[in-house]
Amino acid sequence: MTEHCFCLVFGTSAAPIHLGHNELIVKATLALEQKEHLVARVVILPVYWRHNISDEVKKSLQESYEDRLALCQIAAGEIATQLGRPSKWVEVSRLEKTLSLLSGQPNYTVETLKVMREELKENERLAFLLGADSVSGASPRLGHWYELDDLLHLTSFVVSPRDGFPPNLKFIKKLGRQGAEVIYLDEVDTADISSSTIRKTLIETNDPQKVVRSGWLSQQALDYILDHNMIEQWQNQV
């Protein structure tokens, strides 16, 4: 393995993870490699218990965890196929659940990445994949993350553009002065797909195949959602 390969981490509370996420991970991986940042593997990290949420579906993260994790596993296989990599090259981690159950409370990203850092393979380093909404605006959300100074030294940040969220370049430069590595992937462009729109569509439509025809979900992901009564769960939560 080449020196200083990235372990690219994608944390998500999406319900469900969708083809837009797949596209983001695939394009980010290829863009990093074009910039000569080799990617050793990808880790998808479904959130188990999240701080300060108002969305009713995301309040049930613990209850929906196994289904969300199973959908992440489907996505992992699809991503590996698209990249032409072995299936094990894209992993799905249960670490967030493990840490939350040990502490009995929500865990912060910095706590998760500290454990991941200790378990890295030789010559790997962490890279955390974010959307530009985290570094956009007058007071970017990333600037308020718990123990940010520690986080900046645990991982590089790989930022993908997102429509409607221009990056706060002054903020990004400030992170650099604090010792962070921020890699902004100007060339990455992904479809604007929303998990909430997918849920709403599946709740309201008599034609669930619509989400497949629209390019939002794969057939395998939709089949899982239907087989496990996830639409009814979302409907009850809303």
Is 200 a domain residue? no
Is 186 a domain residue? yes
CATH code for position 29: 3.40.50.620
Per-residue model confidence as pLDDT tens digits over 197-221: 999 999 999 999 999 999 999 999 9
Number of structural domains found in the chain: 1
pLDDT of residue 4: 80
Please report which confidence band the pLDDT of residue 57 belongs to, taking 50, 70 and 90 as the band edges: low
Is 227 a domain residue? no
Is 224 a domain residue? no
The boundaries of the domain holding residue 68 are: 5-192
- As a whole-number percent, the residues of the chain with pLDDT over 70 amount to 95
Count how many residues are written for the chain: 238
Is 217 a domain residue? no
Nearest 5°: the CA angle 162, 166, 172 is: 105
Is 222 a domain residue? no
Give the mean pLDDT of 169-192.
94
Q: Where are the alpha helices (DSSP H) in the chain?
A: 19-34, 56-59, 61-83, 95-103, 109-118, 148-154, 169-177, 195-204, 210-213, 219-227, 230-237
Is 220 a domain residue? no
Residue 67, CA distances (Å) to 46, 63, 64, 78, 232 in order:
10, 9, 6, 17, 13
Q: Is the pLDDT of residue 33 over 60?
A: yes
Per-residue model confidence as pLDDT tens digits over 59-113: 678 889 999 999 999 999 999 999 999 999 999 999 999 999 999 998 899 999 9
